[in-house]
Every structure is written in C-alpha cells, then in structure tokens.
Amino acid sequence: PPVIRREDYKPYPWIVSETHLDFDLGLDATRVVSKLTVARNAKADPADTMRLNGDGLELLSVKVDGEVVNNWRMDGDDLILPLSSDAHEVEIATEIDPSANTQLMGLYASGGMLCTQCEAEGFRRITFFPDRPDVLSVYTVKMRGSAEQFPVMLCNGNEVATGEEEGERWAEWHDPWPKPSYLFALVAGDLVSNRGTFTTMNGREVELNIWVREEDLPRTDHALESLRKSMKWDEETFGREYDLDLFNIVAVSDFNMGAMENKGLNVFNTKYVLADQETATDADYDAIEGVIAHEYFHNWSGNRITCRDWFQLSLKEGFTVLRDQLFSQDMQGEAVKRIEDVRILRAAQFPEDSGPLAHPIRPDSYREISNFYTATIYNKGAEVIRMMRTMAGPEKFREGTDLYFDRHDGEAATCEDFVSAIEDGAGLDLKQFRLWYSQAGTPRVTVAQEVVGDGLKLTLSQEVPATPGQSEKKPVPIPLRLAVHSRANGATGPEQLAVLTEAEQTFEYPLAGPDPVVSINRGFSAPVRIKRDVSQDDLAFLAASDDDPFARYEALQELAVGHLVAVASGDRSDADRAAGEDALAKALGAILTDDALDDAMRGELMTLPSESYLFEQMDRPDPARIHEAREGLKATLGTTLASEFHALYDRCEAVPFDGEGARGARKVKTQVLTYAAASDPAKAAELAAHQYDKADNMTDRQGALMVLCGLECPERTARLLDFYNRYKGNALVIDKWFTLQALSLHPQAIEHVKALAKHDDFTLRNPNRVRSLYMAFAGNPQAFHAADGEGYRMLADLILELDPINPQTAARFVPSLGKWRKIEEGRAEKMRGELERIAKAGNLSRDIYEQVARSLE
Ligand code: HT7
Ligand code: ZN
C-alpha cells in the first residue's frame, strides 16, 4: 500500500458546491444516484480530469451535463472522469449491499436498520466522490424505502419533506452548512426517540432526539440530560451556540468506535447512550456524559471548522478531547477527573510514544488513516493544547479560541492555523512550542534541588527520547506548575509556573521553611515523565498533605512504583522490602482514615499503579514478577490495614444508592474488596458474594463480580451464572460478563477466554463483543503474557480471523504484540514470532499490513 505524505498536500482542483443524493434503500441492495455541481477551483493547479474516490462500489452509470459518458477510466478503486469546461453537472449511479458490509464503514445494516459511518474514508463506499476533508459541499438528500422496515428516515440538517405511497416511504433532508463527506450520515429503521428541547443563548429552540430501539427507550434519559448540559456548557465556557433547529443522536449496536459527530445527526455506539441503575455502572454514566459532550462539541471544533487533511486530525480531536475533559471536570469534580485522564494517558499514550508505533500529534505520513485514531492524536493532542491554556491562563486562552473560531469558521484548517490563532488571541509566543506538533516521544524531566541561602535552587533538565524515524530531538517548552513546601513545619509554598525551555535550566524559589519538598508537575501540567531522587519520607509527606490533590495522588503512586519496581527487579533486600511496605502501609493508612477526604478521591488514592504502568517503568521486565510483587504488596497492605479497611467498608456499605457521596462510597467498597482478595481470599469471597447478592445497582454488582472472578471459590461460579441469566439478551451487560472473565486474576483465565470464544453469544461480527473478550484479555497482564506464548498465539489467531471481516477493529489488537522490544527475551521472541506469522499470511488488509510492518521495524 502506498505511503501518503503530509508534504504532498495539494488543494482539490474542483469545487463541489452542491451534492444531491438519491437513495433507494434496501438492506441487501441500495441504489445511490449522486448529482454534483462542480466548478474549477481557481486556487488549485488546473486539471482536465476529476478523481472521484471509490471503494468496493458497483458503478451503474456516469453522466456529465445530462449525457451518458463512457470516457472515464478506473485507477484502482477511483473513477477518473475527464471534464473539459469550467463548470459541470456530474451524475453517478452506484449500487451497494449494506448487509454484506461487515467492515461497518460506509452504509451498513445493523439489527435491521441502515446506518452510515463515513469518517475517515467511508463515504467512498457509498458513492464515487472526492472523499477528502477539504472538499466542502451543501447536501440535499432524498431517500425512499419500505415504510415497514424504515418508518424513520434521518439525515444531516433539517427534514424538508416526507411522504408515503403504497408501502413506500420517502424523506428529503437539507443541510444548509457546507460540510466534508466524512460528516455525511443517513439512518433508516424502526426507531423511537426520547425527545427534548434546548433553548440556545440567543433564543433558538432546538429539538433534541435520542433515537433507539423501542425496548431501549427507558435507558435514554441520562443521554438526553447529558446533551442538554453539554449544549449549555459550550455556550458558557467557549461561547459556542448550536446552529440548527434539530439535533439527533442514534444508538447502534454495531459500531467500530465510540461515536461519530456527523452534522446534526450523531451516530453512537449503544454503549455510550444506554444507561440505568440496574445495567450501567457509575463509570458508564460518566463515560456517556463525556462522549455525548465530545461529539456535541465537535459541532464547532470539527464541523464548523474542519481539517484540511487527515494529518491535521488532532486539530479537531485533540482540541475536542480537551473540551470534553474540561466539561467533565466541571460536571464530576476536577481532581478525580484529572487523575482519571492522566491514568488513561499513561496507560495508553505513553507506551505508544515509546514503542514502534510512536508518531507526532501531527503525523508526517500514513498508509491507512484509520490506524491514526490513536491515544497520541486524541489524548496527547489534548495535553498539548492544555499546556497552551496553562501558559496563557483560562481567560487569555478563551480569547485565543474565540479568535480561532472567528478566523476559521467555515474552513478546512490546519494545526498551524490553530496555534497561530492562540498565539495571536492569547498573546503567547509559541514558536518553539510548535515542536510539540512535530516531535514524537515523551520528554523526560530530571529534577535536582539545592538549598542556597534562604532559597531553593531547582535544576531542571529535559531529554526527548528518539522515536522511529526521529533520532535527533530538540528541547520543547515544558510548563511545570510547582510549589516548595516545608516538611519540617508543614508549610505549603505558593504555586509557581516554571516553563523549562532549554535542555537544562535553573530556577530559584523562596523556602517555606526547613526541609524543602518540591511538589512538581502539579495537576499534571505537562505530559512528561519526571525523574528525581526523593526520599520515601518526602513522598509520604506530599501524599498526606500536598494542597494539590493530583500531587497527593502522584506522590503515593511514586512511592508505590519505587517499591514495586525494586521488588519486581529483585533489587530489594528483605529489610528494604519490609521498610518499603511499612512506608506504604503508613501512607495508605493515613488515606483510609483521613476524614477530610471525600470517598471519590480516596478511591483514587487507594489505587495501586497498574501492572502495565509498572511494566513501562522497567527495563525488559518479566510480567510474572511484576504481578507477584503487586499482588504481594496488596496482600501485605490488606493484612496490615485489615481493621481500617473493614471500618471503611462498613461505613461505605451503609450509604444508600442516592445518598450523599454514594458514588465515592461504591468506589471505595470495591477497592477494599480487591485488597481483601489478596490478603484473605475466603473473607473476600464472602464479602463480595454478599455485595453481589444485595446490590441494587450495577456498580456494586460488577465490582463484586470482578473480585469473585479472580478467586477460586464456589461463590464465583454461582454469581457468574446468575449474572448471565439475569442479563441474558442485554448485549451491553453480556459484554461486561465477557470482560470480567477475560480480565480476571484467576489462574485459569486463559482457558476461560478460550471457552468464551466458543460461547454461543460470541461473534466476530460485533466490535463491542470482540473487544469485550479480546481487548480485556490483551489487557490482562497475567493471562496474556503466559510464559509459553499461548496468549500471543491466541491474539494473532484473532487478528488473522478478524481481518477479512473488520480490518479496522482487527488492527486495534496489533499494538499489544508490538511490545516485544520492551519485554524479557523469552516472551519477546514469541511475540515477534506471532507478528511475523501475521506478516507472512496472504491478503492482509492495509490496516493490518501497516501496523504489523511498523511493529516489526
Ligand atoms: N471522529 C470520530 C471518529 C470515528 C471513526 C474513525 C474511524 C472509523 C470509525 C469511526 N467512528 C468514529 C469519533 C470522535 O472522535 O469523535
Ligand atoms: Zn472526536
């Protein structure tokens, strides 16, 4: 497959001012007639042909200015059409089979309905078209089909007319906003809606609909409320108002990603729409609120201003992730949300940035754009913009975003346009900062401190590691929020902002008292790794009393990481190990009994660093030893702090479902169970079974079952069976049932996964189901990294079997095998062997080819 390069960008030679689409809908055969009004683009190099992208289409006819023409030719899947004048009307008829579309890109059938997914390059699977984000057109769409099968017909914009004759229904839609083809959407099916309204800041009344299958209607209130909150927040925080009279969301159960921001017609994975107390966890509720906000916010950051080309993907995704993170911080609480976001960044993006698939947030090349919907583009992209906000301050940053929205409204813009607008609007100099867009890799910042007179001299140095294709790196500006506290008198120093721009730089701050302790990268102000020599006592002090909640979390993590890495590497004497456990028990004990903490924050602080995070901190580690060290520490802490844990559990258990602080209490309860499972499995089984049996909500039930799944006890089998029977038929909950078993700490988890892959409810056709089993399995350090390589073989088999069905979803599993350079040699060889086996198989998709080739390089 050819490599597409950013530097090769050229504007499209034709302007497509209007696009008229006519659909004859059928689940097995849909006919599409498109009429394009085209004119030469004076800003592009002249061309005497028009390239119309296609993918798997059956071409029926081509007309130019009303006459059938045959002078076209095919170049691969693309149609090349000679055009001699400055303006034409092009008409193309095609036929597609939505039921055969297992890739779920373009127009496809899902549970008897028809829906579309066009980002990034799915529109070319519907009709021949310049399927690139810088070709903006005004769409008018007419569709017709069986009134019984498709009583509801939706498209972008506003419905302008409908009708029904002899069992056939038709609808015409018009979207006044010019848009690129990736934002086109169509849905037809038997759906019902939860309808609401929102009045915008300028008094426009907007109709809101959450469209679902009838049986799902009772679980849509949270989605509707989340949409209203998002609309209000975007007006208040970014000054963005909605621009149509209608906003539709449709939930579909077969979907490759989370959701899609099509203009006025968002299509969502059911997972991010449906919720009620019985079937969705607190985390599910938050995820729904966050994803609804994200897609809604795209209406400005993505739709009104879109991307010039796919290299600019982070322009819309990074910015929109930042916007949804800030929204969720406001809705759910700043500290806990920030901790969760940093945990995601470290779990997904840091490994990507230090592995074979590392790329800048604005990549330079790709073969398959779907492979670049990554944690780097999304999450690091958000962090990079967050740093601009930290340097400017929220008010100035808002002046920057206002300018960006004003200056580029209606355009297909670049990351450079965004940075320039922030620079001009917020009054920042971002010349050097632009390196964050072009360099991959997570910077490492080393901290050294020295008391000089009554001040503290801080020497900060940075290094950006080499990444594939980028061996030489330059220093980047790193904004670090920090404070200098005193351990001796407990005084907290004022917060400062140090912007490290050189390879090495010194900063001086006044002391707050003797024994200075530096609290650095507060709020995780920069997406970097911090390296410093800091004593266990200093970390314990920060964990107990830093005035920045994130820094408290971070100090406890650092304390645990230091200990666990040393234990897993075999570098700790018995005495050191005992001292480390003691320090952690004291620090955690203080957290468990700190009455000033709310339980949501306590739940975060109780979370030990994950095995995969520990893996990242070590040189060619053995995952089994990491597992042993972490479980060992949990057991020790569970035993040492048994009475504190039990007192906490009892207090939290008494909080009713809707009581004050109930969500935090639920989080803490399950955390306590995880420690008990390691220290006293019999007691944990009893407690978890009790929690499961009396649960009146999914958070408690799932938490209890998660713990039971990892134990070898009779309670496990009975509750797993109960869970399955209770929720049989509810796909999203049965996904949880698969996940819990695939993620479990049970010694036979790998055997369970094999059996589950043969279960009647398992199918490769549904991405949620595939991910529920295999993503969970790939994230189960113990089972996936079985020393004999069985886990790797299973994953490679899955990739090969799934590739012909759904290459995009299959490609998401490749990075798990790409860790071979990082792991101990025995497993490395086995992982690499599986990648080579995939590479040698014939007929690989472009998606798998690219990911495997990059992973082996
Ligand atoms: N912008 C959307 C991306 C998306 C997507 C990309 C490739 C294949 C399928 C897809 N579904 C949705 C989602 C978002 O980030 O908002
Ligand atoms: Zn997005």
- Per-residue pLDDT band for 636 (boundaries 50, 70, 90) equals very high
Across-strand partners of 62? 92
Q: What is the mean pLDDT of residues 257-282?
A: 99
Instruction: Tell me which ligand sits closest to the C-alpha of residue 272.
Output: 1
Residue nearest atom 11 in ligand 1 by C-alpha distance? 257
The pick from 260, 270, 314 for probing ligand 1's pocket by mutation, whose C-beta has the most ligand atoms within 8 angstroms, reads: 260
Where b means 16+ CB within 10 Å and e means fewer, 116-143 reads bbbbbbbbbbbbbbbbbbbbbbbbbbbb
Q: What is the pLDDT of residues 281-338, one digit of tens each?
A: 999 999 999 999 999 999 999 999 999 999 999 999 999 999 999 999 999 999 999 9
Across-strand partners of 710? none
Strand pairing class (205-212; 192-199): antiparallel
Neighbours of 214 (CB within 10 A): 9
d(C-alpha 187, C-alpha 150), whole Å = 9
Q: What is the pLDDT of residues 587-622, one digit of tens each?
A: 999 999 999 999 999 999 999 999 999 999 999 999
Q: What is the mean pLDDT of residues 85-111?
A: 98
pLDDT attached to residue 650:
98
d(C-alpha 593, C-alpha 610), whole Å = 23
DSSP string spanning 7-44? GG----SEEEEEEEEEEE--SS-EEEEEEEEEEE-TTS
Coil/strand/helix, residue 165: strand
Paired tokens of 110: 């899902």
Paired tokens of 588: 């955690």
d(C-alpha 555, C-alpha 487), whole Å = 14
Instruction: Tell me which ligand sits closest to the C-alpha of residue 120.
Output: 1
Q: Position of tokens 């990074």?
A: 318
- Per-residue pLDDT band for 853 (boundaries 50, 70, 90) equals very high
pLDDT attached to residue 335:
98
Answer whether 746's CB lies under 8 Å from 779's CB: no
Residue 803 near ligand 1, beta carbon < 6 Å: no
Residue 373 near ligand 1, beta carbon < 6 Å: yes
Which of 175, 180, 201 shows the shortest CA–CA distance to 265?
175
Residue nearest atom 15 in ligand 1 by C-alpha distance? 317
**Inter-axis angle of helices 698-709 and 662-679, nearest 10:** 10
CA of residue 411 relative to chain centroid, distance: 26
Answer whether 314's CB lies under 8 Å from 300's CB: no
The pick from 119, 230, 312, 377 for probing ligand 1's pocket by mutation, whose C-beta has the most ligand atoms within 8 angstroms, reads: 119
Where b means 16+ CB within 10 Å and e means fewer, 508-529 reads ebebbeebbbbbbbbbbbbbbb
**Inter-axis angle of helices 313-332 and 221-238, nearest 10:** 110
Q: What is the mean pLDDT of residues 632-653?
A: 98
Q: What are the catalytic residues?
A: 295
Q: How far is the CA of 275 from the centre of ligand 1 (A)?
A: 22
Answer whether 51's CB lies under 8 Å from 75's CB: yes
Residue nearest atom 2 in ligand 1 by C-alpha distance? 260
pLDDT attached to residue 146:
98
Q: What is the mean pLDDT of residues 102-107?
A: 98
Answer whether 705's CB lies under 8 Å from 674's CB: no
pLDDT attached to residue 500:
99
Residue nearest atom 10 in ligand 1 by C-alpha distance? 257
Q: How far is the CA of 256 from the centre of ligand 1 (A)?
A: 8
For ion ligand 2, residues whose CB falls within 5 Å:
317, 320
Q: What is the pLDDT of residues 227-266, one digit of tens each?
A: 999 999 999 999 999 999 999 999 999 999 999 999 999 9
Which domains are seen in the chain, by residue range? 4-190 (2.60.40.1730), 306-438 (1.10.390.10)
Q: What is the pLDDT of residues 141-157, one digit of tens each?
A: 999 999 999 999 999 99
Q: How far is the CA of 846 from the centre of ligand 2 (A)?
A: 23
Instruction: Tell me which ligand sits closest to the C-alpha of residue 108.
Output: 1
pLDDT attached to residue 374:
98
Residue 294 near ligand 1, beta carbon < 6 Å: yes
> Counting atoms of ligand 1 from 1, which one is nearest the CA of 295?
16
Residue nearest atom 3 in ligand 1 by C-alpha distance? 260
Residue nearest atom 12 in ligand 1 by C-alpha distance? 260
Going along 548-628, which residue ranges are E strands? none
Q: What is the mean pLDDT of residues 224-228?
A: 99
Q: What is the mean pLDDT of residues 550-555?
A: 98
Paired tokens of 374: 């990554």
Instruction: Tell me which ligand sits closest to the C-alpha of residue 292.
Output: 1
Q: How far is the CA of 227 from the centre of ligand 1 (A)?
A: 19
pLDDT attached to residue 51:
98
Please state, in angstroms and as integers, the Cα–Cα distance from residue 266 to each residue in 296, 305, 339, following that order: 8, 17, 29
* Torsional sign, CA 822, 827, 833, 837: negative
pLDDT attached to residue 301:
99
**Mean pLDDT over each residue of the chain, to the nearest integer:** 98
Burial of 453: CB neighbours in 10 Å, binned 0-12, 13-18, 19+? exposed
> Counting atoms of ligand 1 from 1, which one is nearest the CA of 104?
9
Residue 316 near ligand 1, beta carbon < 6 Å: no
Q: What is the pLDDT of residues 347-392, one digit of tens each?
A: 999 999 999 999 999 999 999 999 999 999 999 999 999 999 999 9
Q: How far is the CA of 208 from the centre of ligand 2 (A)?
A: 20
What amino acid is encoded at 843 in this protein? N
Residue 377 near ligand 1, beta carbon < 6 Å: no
Residue 256 near ligand 1, beta carbon < 6 Å: yes
Residue 370 near ligand 1, beta carbon < 6 Å: yes
Q: What is the pLDDT of residues 447-468, one digit of tens each?
A: 999 999 999 999 999 999 999 9
> Counting atoms of ligand 1 from 1, which one is nearest the CA of 294?
16
pLDDT attached to residue 365:
98
d(C-alpha 346, C-alpha 529), whole Å = 10
The answer for residues whose C-beta is within 8 angstroms of residue 134's C-beta and 6 or more apart is 11, 12, 180, 306, 307, 308, 309, 412
Instruction: Tell me which ligand sits closest to the C-alpha of residue 262.
Output: 1
Angle at 401 between CA 395 and CA 404, to 5 degrees: 150
Q: Phi then psi for 141, rounded to 5 degrees?
A: -130, 130
What amino acid is encoded at 136 in this protein? L
Across-strand partners of 213? none
Strand pairing class (455-463; 504-510): antiparallel
> Counting atoms of ligand 1 from 1, which one is nearest the CA of 257?
11
Which of 613, 635, 638, 644 shows the shortest CA–CA distance to 626?
613
Paired tokens of 434: 């632009």
Q: How far is the CA of 197 from the centre of ligand 2 (A)?
A: 24
Q: How far is the CA of 550 from the centre of ligand 1 (A)?
A: 30
**Residue 567 C-beta-side C-alpha neighbours within 13 Å:** 26
- Per-residue pLDDT band for 446 (boundaries 50, 70, 90) equals very high
The pick from 373, 771, 845, 846 for probing ligand 1's pocket by mutation, whose C-beta has the most ligand atoms within 8 angstroms, reads: 373
Q: What is the pLDDT of residues 566-581, one digit of tens each?
A: 999 998 999 999 999 9
In the DSSP assignment, the letter for residue 133 is T
Q: How far is the CA of 755 from the centre of ligand 1 (A)?
A: 32
d(C-alpha 615, C-alpha 622), whole Å = 8
Residue nearest atom 13 in ligand 1 by C-alpha distance? 260
Coil/strand/helix, residue 110: strand
- Per-residue pLDDT band for 432 (boundaries 50, 70, 90) equals very high
Q: What is the pLDDT of residues 731-743, one digit of tens each?
A: 999 999 999 999 9
d(C-alpha 730, C-alpha 748), whole Å = 26
Cis check: omega of the bond before 120, within 30 degrees of 0: yes
Q: What is the pLDDT of residues 164-218, one digit of tens each?
A: 999 999 999 999 999 999 999 999 999 999 999 999 999 999 999 999 999 999 9
Residue nearest atom 6 in ligand 1 by C-alpha distance? 119
- Per-residue pLDDT band for 680 (boundaries 50, 70, 90) equals very high
Residue 261 near ligand 1, beta carbon < 6 Å: yes
pLDDT attached to residue 836:
98
Q: Position of tokens 């690989």?
A: 844
